[in-house]
Amino acid sequence: MDTTQREALIAVVAVLGLFVLMTLPALIGVAHDRRIDRQIRRAEAARAAAGHRTTAAGARPARGAAPHRTARAA
């Protein structure tokens, strides 16, 4: 292996390393979103099995929850 081939190999490894560094956060985010989606589906299935409504129309606001009011200028 001569110098030119060695430099080309180093360049290829560097580019692949940068590619991994650039795509890794996105791949981690996708995996995180899929895990959350699975948890939501399991919770909805458990709620449906318990006989509760799963639609947002049947949801009630939490106790003590008041609508947000905008501050008025004095």
State how far the Cα of 19 lies from the Cα of 11, in Å rounded to an integer: 12
42-58 average pLDDT score: 77
Radius of gyration for the alpha carbons in the chain, expressed in angstroms and rounded: 26
- Residue in this structure with the two tokens 């589906």, named with its chain if needed: 41
> Which two three-digit tokens encode residue 33?
């979103």
- 3-class state of residue 35 by DSSP: helix
Task: Using the predicted structure, report yes or no on whether residue 53 has a pLDDT greater than 90.
Answer: no
User: What pLDDT digit, counting tens, does each position of 60-70 carry?
Assistant: 656 666 666 67
Torsion-angle region of residue 67: left (phi > 0), alpha (psi -120 to 50) or beta?
A: beta
pTM value is 0.51
User: What pLDDT digit, counting tens, does each position of 18-31 carry?
Assistant: 999 999 999 999 99
Residue-level pLDDT at 54: 47
Residue-level pLDDT at 74: 64
